[in-house]
Amino acid sequence: MSPIKRLFPEPGRRPLRQQLAITLTAILSLSILVAVLLLNLLFGWQAREQIDQRAAFFMDAMLSVRAYTSKKVNPIIAPLNEGTGLFRPEAVPSYSAQTVAGYLKDKEAYREYSYREAALNPTNLRDKADSFETGIIENFRRDPSLTRQSGSKSTPLGVVHYVAQPIKVTKESCLVCHSTPDRAPKSQLLAYGDSSGFGWKLNEIVGTQIVTVPQQAVFAAKDRSLLATALLMVASFAVVGVITNMVLSQLILKPMREISRKAEEASVTPATVNFEERERRDEIGLLARSFERMKQSLSISMQMLKDRKGQG
Amino acid sequence: MRRWLPLLAVLVTTACGGQQSSDVSLCGSAGRLRVGLVGAAEGRAQSAAGVLPDQDQFRLRELLMVASRCEVQLEPVLSPEQARLRLRSGDWDLAFLPPGLTAVALEQSGRYGLVRQLGRRSNAKSQLLVRADSSLKTRADLRGRRLGLLPRGSLTGFYLPLFNLHGLRFSEVHYALSYADLRTMLDEGKVDVIAWDGSLPADKARYRVVHEDSHLIPLGALALSQSLLQSDHQPFLRQLDQNVTQLPPSLGYASGVIPEPYALKELRGIVAAVEGWTLPQAGQPYTVYGAKGDAETAAGGGR
């Protein structure tokens, strides 16, 4: 006999209580399984949404820093870079955005976040695009309508979620430092040389801003939520199962066992047995009334047999 | 696939090397490892690729990431002045430095310590070079002339030349990022005398050495910030030592060799002394003057 058949034999082969318990367990287990699978999809979608929101917020914050530097700081600092003194990178939006991102990383909560401005031909060699970043920049250059790329990136330290936006030369003022060395401030040439960060053109996509946010922690939190939900469901379904079983026992099984005991007694001494359950309005009452009628018929039949014996 | 080969090598070495690898990451205060890369030699690189070719940079970054188990921000720097500023403000947790900047790093109130030797032995000497057809014969003849230097931070191209020119006034001081650029400036008549490294080839028919400093130029070094030195940094160094073949050969990383601070003692004195002076601005007249302190005795042989 197969295990399923052994667990679910034909009706009537086990006590009702056991049959009910097994059936309830099977239904509730299946419900939990389906619910967990659906919740896993839902929680996963929510986790991805959360990661996207975090990345978008981080990116917007950095863009704001860039805008502030470009509008408010650069006009003050840039003239100081014209001479041969020390080059002040504070005038460069990219520098300030990456510096602010660095300060954010000092906080424990942002330790695994990162912001980078990578370019194919940067002034500061720290910003040189690696092969992954070069691929992203090339995608932006091939398809100018592409404004955003995102996905997962595997690093030696784990998987991270990235969001990338193109860096496009939209202002003529950018070309002061990035067109030809003879236009660039002397202090910049002394700091970074005259071989990198030049040759940029107006409206050209020269790099990408990449935000990476940790996804391991978010997905771990999702898994913990899913596990907690599943355990709560198991616990509540177990309570529901026990209560259902108790109610069924009280409403059906116990009265049936009582009727059965009385029916057995009535088969020997029908006069001493009283089916009080016949007053009930449910199926148990119906059964009790049937047994009551059977008991009366049995009493009459036994009385008739006695009378016939007395006449004989 | 090629870019992952070094990482595979590191993983295999870690697994099969029989040495215990650490699960502890070696990160800087910002939760990442900020690495400065100037290289082992001074004034050689003329361009970004000269510091370290792109592929070597990416490979070095990944190797450092695997060894430190930390996000790595690698910053190759062409100008020793930029590197000096980074060291002074503690912007780097780890740095591959040439000799002059190694001395500068040690002068930062114990902020950095040296853990490995970089570079190869050469007959590097700080020299002052003029054109062969120049009338300048001695250091005294340089008075009122135009001087070409490497940026502040270079030992052979800045600190030693200034130390050896103490007391002289120059009409202008100009800077270039490499010795090759300085030589071009000399050829073009933009300057009358330039700082030069004796280990570089110079055509004797075209140039003449007016002065050579006698100090032996020590090798560069890999410096670690104090916070990393106080952490368990040995597993990190062990990883680098075991994978020395994966490191760019131009760095000259010497596996297991700890630099001898004594070799730098005299030159540190000179660097500290010159750093205490008012230093030349590009394009401006300048009188080399300032207290020499203990460094004078040290430099005696070089004069």
Domain ranges, ordered by start, for chain A: 39-214, 223-311
Do residues B30 and A102 touch, judged by C-beta distance below 8 A? yes
Q: Please say whether the dihedral angle defined by the alpha carbons of residues A132, A136, A137 and A139, taken in this order, is positive or negative.
A: positive
Nearest to B147, CA basis, from B190, B102, B103, B97 = B190
Residue of A nearest to B178 (CA): A193
- The alpha-carbon gap from B62 to the nearest alpha carbon of chain A, in Å, equals 8
Q: Is B215 exposed, middle or buried (0-12, 13-18, 19+ CB in 10 A)?
A: buried
User: Residue B63 and residue B187: Cα distance in Å, rounded?
Assistant: 42
Q: Tell whether the model's pLDDT for residue A193 goes beyond 80.
A: yes
Question: Which CATH topology does A39-214 take?
Answer: Beta-Lactamase (3.30.450)
Residues in A touching B62 (Cβ below 8 Å): 156
How many angstroms separate the Cα of A214 from the Cα of each of A51, A136, B297?
A: 8, 19, 57
pLDDT digits (tens, 9 = 90+) for A16-53: 778 888 888 888 889 999 999 999 999 999 988 888 88
**Per-run averaged pLDDT (10 residues), chain B, 303 residues:** 47 43 72 86 73 85 91 90 92 92 88 90 88 92 95 93 94 92 94 93 89 90 93 92 89 88 84 91 89 62 41
pLDDT digits (tens, 9 = 90+) for A151-188: 888 887 778 889 999 999 988 888 988 999 999 988 88
Q: Is B147 exposed, middle or buried (0-12, 13-18, 19+ CB in 10 A)?
A: buried
**B2-121+219-259 has which CATH code?**
3.40.190.10
- The alpha-carbon gap from A71 to the nearest alpha carbon of chain B, in Å, equals 26
How many angstroms separate the Cα of B54 from the Cα of each of A144, A146, A193, B49?
A: 26, 27, 16, 7
Task: For residue A204, name the pLDDT band (cuts at 50, 70, 90).
Answer: very high
**B126-216+271-302 has which CATH code?**
3.40.190.10
- A126 part of contact set with chain B, CB < 8 Å: yes
User: Residue A198 and residue A181: Cα distance in Å, rounded?
Assistant: 7
User: Residue B192 and residue A186: Cα distance in Å, rounded?
Assistant: 21
pLDDT at residue A174, as a whole number = 86
Do residues A252 and A27 touch, judged by C-beta distance below 8 A? no
Q: Which residues of B65-89 are buried (b: 16+ CB within 10 A; e: fewer)?
A: bbbbbbbbbbbbbbbbbbbbbbbee
pLDDT digits (tens, 9 = 90+) for A208-266: 999 988 877 778 888 999 999 999 999 998 898 889 888 888 888 888 889 999 889 88
pLDDT digits (tens, 9 = 90+) for B135-189: 999 999 999 999 999 999 999 999 999 999 999 999 999 999 899 999 999 999 9
Q: Which residues have C-beta within 8 Å of that of residue B53, sequence separation ≥ 6?
A: B248
- A195 part of contact set with chain B, CB < 8 Å: yes
Q: Do A111 and B31 count as a contact with CB atoms less than 8 A apart? A: yes
Q: Do B69 and A131 count as a contact with CB atoms less than 8 A apart? A: no
pLDDT at residue A1, as a whole number = 58
Q: Do B74 and A155 count as a contact with CB atoms less than 8 A apart? A: no
User: Residue B235 and residue B19: Cα distance in Å, rounded?
Assistant: 9
Written out in words, the top-level CATH class of the domain with range A223-311 is mainly alpha
Residue of A nearest to B6 (CA): A156
Nearest to A58, CA basis, from A188, A162, A170, A191 = A162
Tell me the residue type at B127. Answer: Q
pLDDT at residue B21, as a whole number = 45
- The alpha-carbon gap from A75 to the nearest alpha carbon of chain B, in Å, equals 23
Q: Which long-range contacts (CB under 8 A, 24 or more apart) does A76-79 make?
A: A78/A185
pLDDT digits (tens, 9 = 90+) for A60-114: 999 999 999 999 999 999 888 887 778 888 988 999 999 999 888 888 888 888 8
Domain ranges of chain B: 2-121+219-259, 126-216+271-302
Residue of A nearest to B57 (CA): A130
Q: And the tokens for B271?
A: 């660097």
pLDDT digits (tens, 9 = 90+) for A114-145: 899 999 999 988 899 988 999 999 999 999 99
Q: Which of B7, B31, B62 sits opposite A105 (nearest CB)?
A: B31
- A186 part of contact set with chain B, CB < 8 Å: yes
pLDDT at residue A253, as a whole number = 87
Residues in A touching B85 (Cβ below 8 Å): 86
Do residues B183 and B216 touch, judged by C-beta distance below 8 A? no
- The alpha-carbon gap from A49 to the nearest alpha carbon of chain B, in Å, equals 25
pLDDT at residue B13, as a whole number = 47
User: Residue B217 and residue B83: Cα distance in Å, rounded?
Assistant: 19
Do residues B191 and B147 touch, judged by C-beta distance below 8 A? yes
HSE-CB for A226 with a 13 A CA cutoff: 21
pLDDT at residue B74, as a whole number = 92
pLDDT at residue B19, as a whole number = 42
Unique residue bearing structure tokens 């597993």: B235
